[in-house]
Structure 1
Amino acid sequence: MPAAPDPSIVRLAEAVLARADALATDMAEVIRRDVAFYASNRSLVDDAELHRSCRAQMVYVFDALTADSGPELADVSAAEDTGVRRALAGVPLAMVMSAYRVGFRFMWETSLAQARDLDISPEAILATTSQIMLAQDSFTQAMTGAYRQQLTQQMLGKEEERSALVEAILQGRITDTQNLWDAADILRLPTSGPYVVVAAQVPGIGRTGLPEIANKLDTRDIRSAWRLLPDLQVGIVHLRRHATQDELLDILRSAASDRVGVSPPFDDLTVTGEALRFARLAIAGRPTDDQLVQVFDGSPLAVAAVAAPEVMQRIGHDVLGGFDDLPAEERQILVDTFQAWLDSGGSANETAAKIYVHPNTVRHRLHRIEERTGRSLSRPRDIAELCLAFEVHRRLP
C-alpha cells in the first residue's frame, strides 16, 4: 500500500489549488514574457487557451500531491489534450517544452512562497520538490507523447492528400490551370516545368521500388511528388535546370532494384497522364542496354510508334513478319545492325566499326533485312517504313 501523503504537503497543495484560476493567469503572463514564440503568436494560442492549459497543468501537479496513488497513476488526459491542441495549432514542440519549463519554474516558486506562508518545515518542502518534479515529468511525458502521435497522424494525412493529388494529376482529373497551380503548391512543385514522370516497378503490392526516393532527391534540391500504385511507384519530378535530368538518372540508377521508366521532359502538368504512358512504355519496351533505368527519348519516330499501339503493332508485323521464323538471337543481330546503320548515317564502314564486324558482314546483314522485309534500303519510302517498324519492335512489348 502506498504511504498516505504528508499532511503538510496536502495543506500546501490545497492552498495553491484554491488560487488556481488567479495563479494560472499569472503563469500565462510569465510564459508570454519569457517565451518569445508565445508572445508573438497569440493567434495560435490565445489567452483563453493558454490560461486553460496553465490551469490544467497546475491542477494536475498539485492534485497529484494529495493523491494516495501518487502522480504515476493520476489521470493525464488534460496533458494529452494539451499536446493534441498544440500539434493541431502548429506550435513547435520545442516551444511547447520551453513554456512547460517556464511554467514549472513558476509553480516551484509559487510552492516555496506558499510553504513559507504556511510555515511548512524545510524537510517537507524538500519532499514537495521531489513530488512536484515527478508529477511535472509525468504530465510532460503524456503531453509530448500525445503531441507526437497527433503530428504523426497529421503527416500521414498530408501524405495521403499529396498522394491523392498526384494520382488526380496523373489521371487528368485536374485540368483547370488555377487548380493545377494549387495542387502543385501543395505538392511543393513549381507551377511550370520542365517535369518528367518516373515509373518504377515494385517488388510487391504496398512496397516501393525506389525506397526513400523523395528524400534522396530532396537532398539534391530536386522537387518531386510520388504515388504508390499496385504495380508501380510513380513520381512527378521537377527539373530545375538542364543538368538536373542527369542528376536524377544517377540517383534513380543507384536506387533501382527493378526496371524504371522515365518520360521525356514536359512543361505543362495537364499532359502528365501522357508522360506516364511514355514512362510505362519505357519499362515495357525492350531495353537498349543493361541499365535498369530507361528513358523514353520523345523523338517523333518514338512517339509515332506508340501513338496507336494496336495499329502500330499490325504495321510492325506486316513489315517485319519475315523475321518471325528466325531464332531470337539472329533476329536481334539484324535489329541491332539496322539501328547501328541508321546511327552511322547509312555508312557500312562506320557501322562495321561501331559493332566490331567487317563491312561486308554489315552489307550481308542489310541484304538479309531487305530479303525478309521486301523493302529496299535504296528507296526512302521503304527506309521510312523500316524505321517505323523497328521502332515499334523496340517500343512495344
Structure 2
Amino acid sequence: MAPSGTSHATADHMTAVSRELSSASTALANEFVRQYVSTTDSGSVDRQAPVEAFEMAVHVIDLCANGLVDRPPSGGTPPGGMPATGPPSGRGARMALQGKPVAEAVEWLRLLERVVTDHVLAHATGGMDEIRAVLGRLAELFDVLCTRELESFTATYNELAGWQARVSTDLLSCLIAGPVVDASTVNDQARMLNINPHQRFRAVAAYHDPAPTSQQWVRARRRIMEVLWRHDPRREILLRERRGLLLALVPIEREGPGLVDLLTTMLDGEPGRALFVSAGEPGQSLSAAGHSCRQALSALEISIYRDQRGQVTQCTDVILEVLLAHNRWVSKRLIETRIGQLVEKPHLLDTLRVYIACDMALQRTAEELVVHPNTVAYRLRQIATLTGRDMRRITDIGDLNVALMAFDAIQMRRDREEARTDLRARLFA
C-alpha cells in the first residue's frame, strides 16, 4: 500500500526502491561493516564485532525497505512508518552502561544512513521529485530509529545513574557512621562505581545559611560541584546531601590547583555570602577516609557557630575545638577549673574574649567594647581575682583561652542537642 499523500509515480518509485534495498541488503550490510570497522579502528567509534554489525545493518535495511511502501493507519505506529516494536538494537543501552558519549548510540545509524542513501542515489531511475520523496522518507525512518536508540540510552543512563547514586550514598554513609569498615567491602563497592579506592581522599562539607529554597540550593550546589569536578575531571567523587548541606569525599592526587585553593577562590565571589565550607584531613585510602568525613562535619559545625562564612575552615585550624567538642567531660572540667566563676557574668566573659582577640592591648579592647579603658582595666582585675590568673602572663591567658574554647564547645553541643546544627543527623535524615 502506498503511503498516503504521494502520487502514483512517487509510490511506484518507492516500491521499486524498496525492492532494490531488499535485494541489496546483504551487499549494503557488508559495505557498512567495511566502513564501520574502518571507522572503529580509527578510534572514533566503539568497536563492535563484524557479525553483530552486519546483523544490525540487515535488520535496519529491511525496516527501511518496508517503511518505504507500507505505513499503517494513523495512530498505529510512530511517525515515519516504523513498526511499533522496540529499538533495532540494544546499542543505546550498551553505550550508557559503558559510560560512552550519547553520540555513539546513534553514530552507527547515521553511517548506515549514508551507505543506504548513496546506494539509492547511485541506482536512481526516477525524476527529481521521486528521488527527493524517497530520500525524505528514508531520513524520516532513520530519525525514528535514532530517536529510539536515544530513548534506550536515556532510560538506561537514568537507571544506571540512580543506581550509582544509591551505591555512592550508601558507601559514604558507612564511612561517616564511625565504626571500622571492612576494606575489601569498600574496595568492591568503589570498583563497581569505577573509583580507584587506593588513592588519598579528602572530605569537603558545605552548608548554606540561611536555609535555601530549592532554586537557591540548585545554584549553590552547581557552583560547588563545578569546583569539585574541575579538581577531579575523572569524577571519582562520593557525595551525600540534603537541601542546604553537602558532604563530598574527593580524591586529592590530581594535577593543578589544590582543592582548598579552588574552594577559596569560589568563596571570594557571590557564594561566599551564604556558604560555610570545611575540609577534613586526607585519608590514605577510601576505606580510611571516614575520619576525614567526621572531621569535616565537626569543623563545619564550629565554622557555623563562629559565623566564619565565606572561607574554608580546615580541621587543623580548629583541631582543639574539635577535640573539645567530642569530649564533654574534658570541656566541663576546663570550664569549672578555669572560668567557672565567670560563667554567670557574661560581661566578664565577653571582656576576656575580646581582650585575648586584641592581643592583650587595653586600648584596642576598650575601643572594641566601646567602653572606657579604665572600665576594661577594672574588669580585668575582677577576672584575675575570680580566676586566680595573672592577666599579663601569656601562659595564664593561654589557659583561659582554652577554657573559652571549651565553653564554646559545650554551647555548640547544646545547639546540636536542640537539633540546630547536628549536621550528621541532618545528612542521615
Q: Do these two structures clear the TM 0.5 threshold for a shared fold by scoring above it?
A: yes
The residue identity in structure 2 corresponding to 1:47 is: P
Quote the residue 1:2 is aligned against: 4
Q: Does 1:110 align with 2:90?
A: no
> How has the CA–CA distance of structure 1 residues 335 and 146 changed in structure 2, closer, same or farther, with 3 Å as cutoff?
farther
Q: Does 1:218 align with 2:229?
A: yes
CA distance in 1, matches of 2:220, 2:407: 28
Q: CA deviation at 1:65?
A: 0.8
Match for 1:386 among 391, 396, 400? 400
Q: Does 1:135 align with 2:141?
A: yes
Q: Does 1:31 align with 2:33?
A: no
Q: 1:86-105 CA distances to partner (integer Å, 9 max, x unpaired)? A: 43345544455543333122
CA distance in 1, matches of 2:81, 2:336: 78
- SS state at 1:69 partner: coil
Gaps of 5+ in 2: 74-78, 413-429
Quote the residue 2:341 is aligned against: 322
CA distance in 1, matches of 2:367, 2:45: 75
Q: CA deviation at 1:234?
A: 0.9
> How has the CA–CA distance of structure 1 residues 97 and 217 changed in structure 2, closer, same or farther, with 3 Å as cutoff?
same
> How has the CA–CA distance of structure 1 residues 106 and 277 changed in structure 2, closer, same or farther, with 3 Å as cutoff?
closer
Q: Give the stretch that moved more between structures: 43-52 or 258-267.
A: 258-267
Quote the residue 1:249 is aligned against: 264
Q: Does 1:57 align with 2:88?
A: no
Match for 1:281 among 298, 313, 330? 298
Q: 1:208-264 CA distances to partner (integer Å, 9 max, x unpaired)? A: 694111213434669854311477311234566896534423424642565525145
CA distance in 1, matches of 2:145, 2:184: 49
Quote the residue 1:265 is aligned against: 281
CA distance in 2, matches of 1:331, 1:73: 85
Match for 2:109 among 100, 105, 112? 100
| Contact kept? 1:337, 1:362, Cα under 8 Å | no
1:1-397 superposed matches below 5 A: 2-3=4-5, 6-33=11-38, 36-37=39-40, 44-69=47-72, 72-75=80-83, 77-79=86-88, 81-95=90-104, 97-112=106-121, 116=125, 124-172=130-178, 174=181, 176=183, 183=190, 186-187=194-195, 191-192=199-200, 195-201=202-208, 203=211, 210-212=220-222, 213-219=224-230, 225-229=238-242, 232-237=245-250, 244-252=259-267, 254-256=270-272, 258=274, 260-269=276-285, 272-285=289-302, 287-288=305-306, 291=309, 293=311, 295=313, 296-298=315-317, 301-313=320-332, 315-316=334-335, 319-326=338-345, 330=347, 333-340=350-357, 344=359, 348=362, 360-373=374-387, 375-377=389-391, 385-396=399-410, 397=412
The residue identity in structure 2 corresponding to 1:387 is: N
> How has the CA–CA distance of structure 1 residues 334 and 30 changed in structure 2, closer, same or farther, with 3 Å as cutoff?
same
CA distance in 2, matches of 1:39, 1:264: 45
Gaps of 5+ in 1: none
> How has the CA–CA distance of structure 1 residues 89 and 38 changed in structure 2, closer, same or farther, with 3 Å as cutoff?
farther
Q: 1:257-306 CA distances to partner (integer Å, 9 max, x unpaired)? A: 65525145345356643343343333434744563546244466434422
| Contact kept? 1:87, 1:147, Cα under 8 Å | yes
- SS state at 2:4 partner: coil
Q: Give the stretch that moved more between structures: 177-186 or 269-278.
A: 177-186
Q: CA deviation at 1:190?
A: 8.3
Q: CA deviation at 1:61?
A: 1.4
| Contact kept? 1:210, 1:256, Cα under 8 Å | no
Q: 1:294-330 CA distances to partner (integer Å, 9 max, x unpaired)? A: 6244466434422413542454256444334335xx3
State the superposition RMSD in angstroms: 4.4
The residue identity in structure 2 corresponding to 1:323 is: L
- SS state at 1:72 partner: coil
| Contact kept? 2:206, 2:247, Cα under 8 Å | yes
Q: TM-score, normalised by structure 2?
A: 0.70
Q: CA deviation at 1:64?
A: 0.7
| Contact kept? 1:53, 1:82, Cα under 8 Å | no
> How has the CA–CA distance of structure 1 residues 232 and 94 changed in structure 2, closer, same or farther, with 3 Å as cutoff?
closer
The residue identity in structure 2 corresponding to 1:169 is: L
CA distance in 2, matches of 1:382, 1:122: 99
Question: Structure 1 vs Structure 2: percent identity of aligned residues?
Answer: 18
Q: TM-score, normalised by structure 1?
A: 0.75
Q: CA deviation at 1:200?
A: 2.0
Q: 1:121-177 CA distances to partner (integer Å, 9 max, x unpaired)? A: 665444323322222232223323433443344344444444443333333554538
CA distance in 1, matches of 2:127, 2:218: 65
- SS state at 1:58 partner: helix
> How has the CA–CA distance of structure 1 residues 159 and 375 changed in structure 2, closer, same or farther, with 3 Å as cutoff?
same
CA distance in 1, matches of 2:29, 2:132: 23
| Contact kept? 1:198, 1:261, Cα under 8 Å | yes
CA distance in 2, matches of 1:12, 1:371: 106
Q: CA deviation at 1:58?
A: 1.1
Q: Give the stretch that moved more between structures: 182-191 or 79-88.
A: 182-191
Q: CA deviation at 1:10?
A: 2.1
The residue identity in structure 2 corresponding to 1:211 is: R
